[in-house]
Structure 1
Amino acid sequence: MAALLAMPLLMFAASAYSAPKTLLVLGDSLSAEYGLTRGSGWVALLDKRLQQEKIGAGVTAVINASISGETTIGGKTRLPALLSKHAPDVVIIELGANDALRGLQLSATQANLQALIDMARAAKAKVVLVGMQIPPNYGADYTNKFSQLFPAAAKQNKTALVPFFLKDVADKPALFQADRMHPNEQAQQTLLDNVWPALKPLLK
């Protein structure tokens, strides 16, 4: 999960919906096409979805700044430069799972998520916070508190929320790669479907 994937820039024509927008996805391996054929991940599938929905005017860019193994700390370090370079209209924050895997204190993850939201807001970007859950083997208390970080942050900041990124995937072993951690290509459309209801209203 430590490999740095090249940052793809997807450009596509769209028809009348609103002014051109730039979307920035700041995520970990779940968004970085880990173990997948390039162009088959859920972020890449946004291209087709936006064309199908006839969203945008002129040219819209989707910048996938996701890195395998990324944590909220790493995201917080990288986000200022990404905001400066791309001036996104919407930032999708899909981070936190690796914090739990590395045993980061929940208070630190909470503070980092808040910092990410604050940075995006300061840059005049709207935010989609992607919620995650972790397996119960981390302990009931930690598991429950971790899952509450995302809705709590979204409520406090009035940001769009994806309640659970792996909804309709986590309980289906056939939708995972051999490592049983990363969704396979067949799961990517479902991941996009999970993000879409939170994202679409922000594109108007």
Structure 2
Amino acid sequence: LCSVIKSVSFAWCQVGELTASLQSSLQQVSTVNKKLSLKEEDIETLQSEVQCRQASLEQLQAEVEQQRVQLAQVELDKDSQLSSLREELLSQTQQLDTCQARISFLEVEVETLTEQLHSPEVCEEDQNGSVTVDDLDHIHKVNRDLEQQLTEKNRTIKQLQQRLAELKRTLQKELVRYTDDLLRFTVSFSQYVCKL
């Protein structure tokens, strides 16, 4: 009987130890579950942040691509405008050169006719009757016509010079605008790279 009682007591002791061990294990499992839940929440938070950053990155990439397209179009437009302005500038310069050459020719003609008009030979011939009043009138008329042409050409040259000055100012403005657009794109692209 004593041995049975000892066995039962021993068994109860083991049951108590096992129960305590089980409770400890359950406590540990509960603690681990709580930690696991916290880790899962952290993972969800990180995944959400990653998705937000991914969306932000895609938006930035889209903005950069849009700016690249816009800059390319701006470059095409500016190149076209600059080319057109250069062609017009060249054309106006050629017209100006032509007018100046024509003026030089007319100045020589006016000077020649003026010298002929006031030369002793003309006066002498007039006295001898070989040069008539009509001849002198004709020379005066030609002289006036040439002077009028010279005045008109000078006016045309002034207009061409004004137009050339306007074209140069426009060309400079377009170049500055083109440079500003390029600088803005460079700054935007640098900011985009920094955000990456």
Shared fold per TM-score greater than 0.5: no
Q: How does the TM-score come out when normalised to structure 1?
A: 0.16
Which structure would you say has the larger RCO, counting Cα contacts within 8 Å and 6 or more residues apart? 2
Q: Which has the higher helix share?
A: 2
Q: Which has the higher strand share?
A: 1
The structure that has the greater radius of gyration is: 2
